[in-house]
Structure 1
Amino acid sequence: MKHLNKLFVAVLMAMGISSQAQDSNNPWAIAFGVNAVDFRTSAGGPGGWLDDHFSQPFNVKENWNILPSVSYLSVSRYVGSNFSVGLQGSVNKIDKLVMWDGNPSQDHYVVNPGDLMYYGIDGNVKYSFMNLIKSKVIDPSLHLGGGYTFLGDSSFGTVNAGAGLTFWFTENVGLALATTYKKAFGTSDPLVRSHAQHTAGIVFKFGGKDTDGDGIYDKEDACPEVAGLKQFNGCPDTDGDGIIDSEDACPEVAGLASLKGCPDADGDGITDAEDACPNVAGLASLKGCPDADKDGVADKDDKCPNVAGPKENAGCPWPDTDKDGVADKDDACPEVAGPASNKGCPEVTEEAMDALKSQARFIYFNSGKSTFKSADVPKRLDAMAALLKNYANSEFLIEGHTDSDGSDAFNQKLSEARAAAVKNALLDRGISSSKLKSVGYGESMPVATNKTAAGKALNRRTEVKLIK
């Protein structure tokens, strides 16, 4: 029990060491196992220093002292740049003490000193070559340090140098092998002796922080507080589309990298969230909806999806009743063909004007009045209205004229009244008031002599003229 107490003290001292990290992720390492002590190196002998140290380095049976139990414990902490510092406590029982009596003709011999206990407390600085050889399994190292050894009733300090080799089974568990030469300094006490100590044990690395529990240490985790994937440096990819959530505009729905992680079901390059027609490929200008007739109206809004038409008419072409190429909405004469230059109305021809004038001249009035005289006047007015309707965007002037009977003032008023009577009769027949004007000229514009009855009859007339 007293042996274990001394070893426990050594462990407590080791736990007091502080530095940075055992490696870049796990700050601490603890190892325990068995140790062997070999005093051959300080026995002296006829072969000299080299013979003492290297002639029987692995003569386990004759020279090594091994306590068949856990006999060493070490704790270390990484300090950066492949260096770590550590403290080791060990216990052993010496029953093989290699001696030499000084006789050059005699070889070494081994004695059993009885109940001779060995205790060692050693500090060291270790340099690992694992990163240099780019291995994750084989970890060779060198170490330097010093310590204090208790051997029976004697004790002495040592300067230590050695090498080690660790095989890592996992990231945190390995088999550690090491050998250390301990150069002793002290009195002439025969037990103050340099020696070699070998250890073999299990080593555990620990202390790495993984806040989010994703198996990636915080030091290497780009998202230390959110569980993620190793290939994304610890950041999550919730929808599994290969784009980390922090760069994914649609982190819960798998999508395309070209669309910042958002889906595009119809493959038209517009994300489903912004696509008014997500299941049918369409145009960006129409929010992802198709336009079969290419009239700029999405098929879903187009009442005539296979025939081009303006948006104002729900994608359908405007009707063109008279087939003159001018849509009815723009056609001033939708039922009569005419050129676009005349708003779809026919241009007034000389034949049409002759027909209007002919009808107008046979409209007779009662003497001195603006009332119609003959019974066929309504038919003539109907014929005039029918002609005028063909030229709905043209303007016409109705002129009234008289003979010379009566005063000028009377004839002027009478001519105006007769012209207005014709105009009103045409208005009653559906001609727009904006297309007709009337004027009276009295007796000022005769077309025949007023000296004969026949001439006066010709001067009492109504005429139609084209304004534009």
Structure 2
Amino acid sequence: MKHLSKLLVAIFLVAGFSSVEAQDKNNPWQFGFGVNAVDAFPTNNLLMDNARKGKWFDEYFNASNHWNILPAISTLNVSKYVGDGFSFGVRGSLNKIENMGDAKVDDLTYYGLDGEIKYNLNELFGMKVFDPYLQVGGGYSWIDDLGAGTLNGGLGFNLWFTENLGLNFQTSYKHSFEDRLVPHFQHLAGLVIKFGGNDTDGDGIYDKDDACPEVAGLPQFNGCPDSDGDGIEDSKDACPNEAGPAEFNGCPDSDGDGIADKDDACPTVAGKRELNGCPDKDNDGIADKDDACPEVAGPKENKGCPWPDRDGDGVLDKDDACPEVKGTVANKGCPEVTQEVQDTLNEYAKTILFDTGKSTIKAQSATVLDQIVGVLNEYSNSKFTIEGHTDSTGSLATNNRLSQERADAVRVYLVDKGISPDRLTAKGFGPSNPIASNKNAKGRALNRRVEINLVKE
């Protein structure tokens, strides 16, 4: 038993000073000092010199008759929290023994050195001010020069005034394994101070409880920052350096159009969501910044401007085949060739003269041909057929060839004067389409002719 007591003392003292890896960083150290009271009466043990003893917990609070109290700081302790509610520590105490049970004794000196393991019951109950715990341990105590090992157990509580300062009350039963030291209760009361917590970023929130331990933050965000002060912590803020409402994940909406600046193509001017926050004054579906005519509605194909109608014929230039000449809708904005125009062309055409029996145009016909060019230019999208005709004099083959060559000659002349070749076709009909009798000279003269007729599509 003697060796067992020494072994227990060694175990608890080493445990009290040892460093455990998994530690709670919030003020893991606790230092306390105060007074202690030693009471050997309510322990159900025979006391020295047959002094009367009590049964378990008899007259437990009879301080005036049984407690031994030294009116000075008589106990010191230090402990370290190691996690999961457990703390290891050591305590030293001294006292003067005047009451041994109900017997008076000469002043005897009492010393105690104990190791303690405490379990904090707040791990179960979660209270803050009232902080109860269970305690077991072992140590060595002396009364004068008689000492022995003890196995200790008890309970206590702290009352915290602040996070770091409080009052401590504890009672422990110390059982001796040797007859020379009586079992006894030791009661403790004093001040306790917690310290040693880490706060790397200096924001007043210990690293253990700080979700952002290396960046100063705010308590409401578990130590994480809110750089722009908009009430949204940076990690959840889409714009951490610009204040904005929660509805936009912390981003501002400078123009108040309901679109966050970061998603707004025009952040300083209220606009439409479908145009990425840009305005559209003329409501043509084109943002003003991309609209060449922001005050007047127009199609996207024309950069937001209305299509012009320069000739005022009711056909927009984009659809007008003759944008600078007034025409009709039916003729794609170009003027229509009326019967009067058709008659005029043929009045001109029938005066075109050729050398006899040849396709060579006589020089004096240049004037009338130029007049024909002028008419054709007025109807620039119309197509025409140049028809050659002869009288019936001579062979049919010769007349057919000659009528074709004369029609081709007129076409070449007109093309040379700038008329698009795509607009003109030439065909010889020979004597097949007379307009007068070939039995007299007058009729044959009328039949030898050129006609220019509109191609109707």
TM-score range, shorter chain: 0.7 to 0.9
Structure 2 counterpart of 1:177, one-letter code: F
Name the CA distance, whole Å, in 2 between partners of 1:224 and 1:23: 14
Partner of 2:19: 18
For 1:259 and 1:246, how far apart are their aligned partners in 2? 14
CA distance in 1, matches of 2:127, 2:54: 39
Do residues 146 (structure 1) and 146 (structure 2) align?
Answer: no
Paired position in structure 1 for 2:175: 183
Are the aligned partners of 1:20 and 1:77 in contact in 2 as well (CA < 8 Å)?
no
Cross-structure match for 2:223: 234
Q: Give the CA deviation at 1:152.
A: 0.4
Please tell me whether residue 49 in structure 1 is matched to residue 51 in structure 2. Answer: no
- Residue matched to 2:72: 69
Q: Distance in 2 between matches of 1:143 and 1:262?
A: 54
Preserved contact between residue 450 and residue 456 of structure 1 (Cα < 8 Å) = yes
Question: Structure 1 pair 204/455, CA: closer, same or farther in 2 (3 Å)?
Answer: same
- Counterpart code for 1:72: T
How far the C-alpha of 1:220 sits from its partner, in A, is: 3.0
Find the counterpart in structure 2 of residue 59 from structure 1: 63
Counterpart contact for 1:214–1:229, Cα < 8 Å: yes
Question: Deviations along 1:25-51, whole A, 9 cap, x unmatched?
Answer: 33332222222223443667768415x
Q: Distance in 1 between matches of 2:196 and 2:251?
A: 39
1:3 alignment partner in structure 2: none
Determine what percentage of the aligned residue pairs are the same residue.
Answer: 55
Aligned ranges for residues 267-416 of structure 1 at < 5 Å?
A: 267-283=256-272, 286-334=275-323, 335-339=325-329, 342-346=331-335, 348=337, 350=339, 352-361=341-350, 363-365=351-353, 368=356, 370-371=361-362, 378=368, 382=371, 384=372, 388-389=376-377, 391-404=379-392, 415=403
Q: Deviations along 1:141-186, whole A, 9 cap, x unmatched?
A: 2222322111101112223222212011222322111122223332
RMSD of aligned C-alpha atoms? 3.6
For residues 275 and 56 of structure 1, the distance between their equivalents in structure 2, rounded to whole angstroms, comes to 78
Segment drifting more, 241-250 vs 415-424? 415-424
TM-score (norm 2): 0.81
Inter-partner Cα distance in structure 2 for 1:305 and 1:279: 18
SS, match of residue 42 in structure 2: helix
Shift of 1:14: 7.5
Q: Does 1:437 align with 2:441?
A: no
What is the aligned counterpart of 1:458 among 446, 449, 453?
446
Trace 1:119-158 onto structure 2 (pairs within 5 A): 119-158=111-150
1:355 is displaced (CA, Å) by: 4.6
Distance 2:305 2:69 in 1: 101
CA 1:209–1:132: 2 relative to 1, 3 Å = same
CA distance in 1, matches of 2:161, 2:96: 31
How far apart in 1 are the matches of 2:339 and 2:304? 41
SS in 1 for 2:251: coil
CA shift, 1:428, in A, is 7.6
2:159 aligned with 1:164, yes or no?
A: no
Alpha-carbon contact 1:278-1:288 (below 8 Å) kept: yes
Question: Which amino acid counterpart does residue 215 of structure 2 have in structure 1?
Answer: V
* Distance across 1 between alignment mates of 2:365 and 2:241: 91
Q: Once the 2 structures are TM-superposed, how far is the Cα of residue 72 of structure 1 from its aligned partner?
A: 1.6
- Give the residue type in structure 1 aligned to 2:362: T
Between 304-313 and 400-409, report the one with greater CA deviation: 400-409
Query: Could you tell me the TM-score, scaled by structure 1's length?
Result: 0.79
2:99 maps to amino acid: L
Which of 183, 186, 200 is matched with 1:197 structurally?
186
1:163 maps to amino acid: L
Which letter does structure 2 place at the counterpart of 1:336? Answer: K
Kindly indicate whether the alpha-carbon contact (under 8 Å) linking 1:21 and 1:77 is maintained by their aligned counterparts in 2.
Answer: no
**Counterpart Cα distance in 2 of 1:353 and 1:276:** 60
Residue 398 of structure 1: how far off its partner (Å): 1.6
The secondary structure found in structure 2 opposite 1:177 is strand
CA displacement, residues 244-290 of structure 1 (integer Å, 9 cap, x when unaligned): 33343432222344544433322445443453311112345544322
SS in structure 2 opposite 1:455?
Answer: helix
From 96, 99, 103, the counterpart of 1:97:
99
Distance 1:403 1:38, change over 3 A: same
CA distance in 2, matches of 1:414, 1:372: 19
Contact kept in structure 1, 2:389 and 2:430, CA below 8 Å: yes
For 1:4-35, what per-residue CA distance to the aligned partner results, in whole angstroms no more than 9, with x for missing partners? xxxxxxx9968623336775733332222222
Greater CA drift, 391-400 or 213-222: 213-222
The answer to whether residue 100 in structure 2 is matched with residue 110 in structure 1 is no
CA contact (8 A) 2:309 2:316 kept: yes
Deviation sequence 1:312-365 (CA, Å, 0-9, x none): 43321121134455321331122223236x43335555555445434433x242
- In the alignment, the residues of structure 2 paired with residue 430 and residue 311 of structure 1 have an alpha-carbon distance, to the nearest angstrom, of 36
* Residues 36-93 of structure 1: per-residue CA shift (max 9 Å, x gap): 223443667768415xx43261424x54333343322222233444333322111223
Are residues 35 and 185 of structure 1, via their aligned partners in 2, closer, same or farther at CA, if it must alter by over 3 Å? Answer: same
C-alpha separation in 1, matches of 2:154 and 2:428: 135
